[in-house]
């Protein structure tokens, strides 16, 4: 299992279109993919990275740190490509 | 082959929701049937149109009909479609439901019904400070 922390940097955050791209990419891997966000009062929210409703419910705006967790044979590639997508601002202009 | 999808709603509610989901998911290819029920419609004619659409949409995996409001004309028409083999009807169509159905479009009909219900319900919440 691999866990990676990454910041959401695009202007609109993990909004619907960004979530759809992330889920589409995550769903292309065999490994299990979860995404965790630390909330207020030390609470956490962990969702299935292959579920569009789950990812949207994270409501991760710009500046939010999230944790990508991948578990399976192609976990390394999954984390690398998901990180690339997020760092590329989900191919948005800002 | 996947389950066929038919939206039966008040006027263009279904059409606009479908457009929204297709733009967000960048999936313009998915074929989804739409029937707009106008205020002055003839329910019998709509029912006949829906039966034809279901035949067109069913590729052997059945058809899921999503409609908007239980007890209203679009739903009352949809209810009659349930008598057709391999047709299931879910009412309360909202965007979260449609997103979920798109996300799991390769599932079998009975599982897709559950996904529609899950998505529709999970998407309803009060916003609290977070």
ipTM of the complex: 0.70
Question: What is the spatial distance between Cα A37 and Cα A46, in angstroms, rounded to a whole number?
Answer: 6
Q: Which are the catalytic amino acids of A? A: 15
Closest CA to A33 of A18, A23, A22, A48: A48
Q: What is the mean pLDDT of chain B?
A: 93
pLDDT digits (tens, 9 = 90+) for B63-97: 999 999 998 999 999 999 999 999 999 999 999 99
Taking the complete model, does pTM exceed 0.95, yes or no? no
| A36-56 average pLDDT score | 89
Buried b (16+ CB within 10 A) or exposed e, B16-54: ebbeebbebbeeeeeebbbbbbeeebeeeebbeebeebb
B130 contacts chain A (CB < 8 A):
yes
Supply the pLDDT for residue A84: 97
**B97: closest chain A residue by CA:** A53
Among B21-25, B102-106, B125-129, the least confident range: B125-129
CB contact under 8 A, A39 and B100: no
Percent of chain A with pLDDT over 90: 73
Element (H or E) spanning A94, and its range? none
Interface of A with B (CB under 8 A): 16-17, 20-21, 23-24, 39-40, 51-53, 56-57, 59
Please say if the pLDDT value at position A70 is more than 90. Answer: yes
Percent of chain B with pLDDT over 70: 98
Q: Taking CB atoms and an 8 Å cutoff, what residues of chain B touch A40?
A: 129-130
| A13-23 average pLDDT score | 92
| A9-17 average pLDDT score | 90
Closest CA to A39 of A18, A53, A60: A60
Question: What is the spatial distance between Cα B12 and Cα B14, in angstroms, rounded to a whole number?
Answer: 5
Question: What is the spatial distance between Cα B79 and Cα B50, in angstroms, rounded to a whole number?
Answer: 11
Supply the pLDDT for residue B88: 97
Please say if the pLDDT value at position B129 is more than 80. Answer: no
Please say if the pLDDT value at position A50 is more than 90. Answer: yes
**In the structure, how many helices (H) and strands (E) does chain B have?**
5, 4
Percent of chain A with pLDDT over 70: 100
CB contact under 8 A, B130 and A39: yes
Percent of chain B with pLDDT over 90: 80
**B120: closest chain A residue by CA:** A53
Whether the Cβ atoms of residue A11 and residue A62 lie closer than 8 Å to each other: yes
Q: What is the dihedral of CA B114, B116, B120, B122, to 10 degrees?
A: 50
Supply the pLDDT for residue A43: 85
Residue B96 has its nearest CB partner, among A17, A20, A53, at A53
B92 contacts chain A (CB < 8 A):
no
Supply the pLDDT for residue B130: 54
Q: How confident is the model at residue A59 (pLDDT cuts 50, 70, 90)?
A: confident
Question: What is the spatial distance between Cα A69 and Cα A78, in angstroms, rounded to a whole number?
Answer: 9
């Amino acid at each position: 299992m691999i866990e990676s922390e990454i910041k959401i940097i695009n202007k609109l955050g993990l909004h619907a279109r960004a979530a759809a791209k992330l889920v589409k990419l995550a769903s292309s891997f065999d490994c299990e993919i979860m995404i965790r966000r630390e909330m207020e009062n030390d609470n956490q929210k962990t969702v299935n990275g292959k579920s569009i409703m789950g990812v949207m419910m994270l409501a991760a705006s710009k500046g939010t740190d999230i944790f990508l967790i991948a578990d399976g044979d192609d976990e390394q590639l999954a984390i690398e490509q998901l990180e690339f997508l997020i760092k590329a601002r989900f191919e948005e202009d800002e | 082959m996947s389950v066929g999808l038919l939206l039966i709603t008040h006027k263009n509610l279904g059409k606009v929701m479908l457009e929204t989901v297709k733009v967000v998911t960048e999936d313009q290819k998915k074929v989804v049937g739409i029937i707009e029920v106008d205020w002055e419609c003839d329910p019998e004619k709509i029912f006949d149109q829906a039966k034809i659409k279901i035949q067109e949409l069913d590729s052997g995996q059945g058809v899921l009909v999503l409609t908007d409001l239980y007890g209203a004309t679009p739903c009352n028409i949809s209810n009659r479609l349930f008598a057709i083999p391999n047709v299931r009807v879910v009412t309360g169509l909202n965007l979260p439901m449609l997103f979920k159905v798109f996300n799991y479009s390769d599932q079998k009909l009975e599982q897709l019904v559950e996904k529609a219900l899950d998505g529709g319900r999970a998407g309803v919440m009060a916003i609290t400070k977070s």
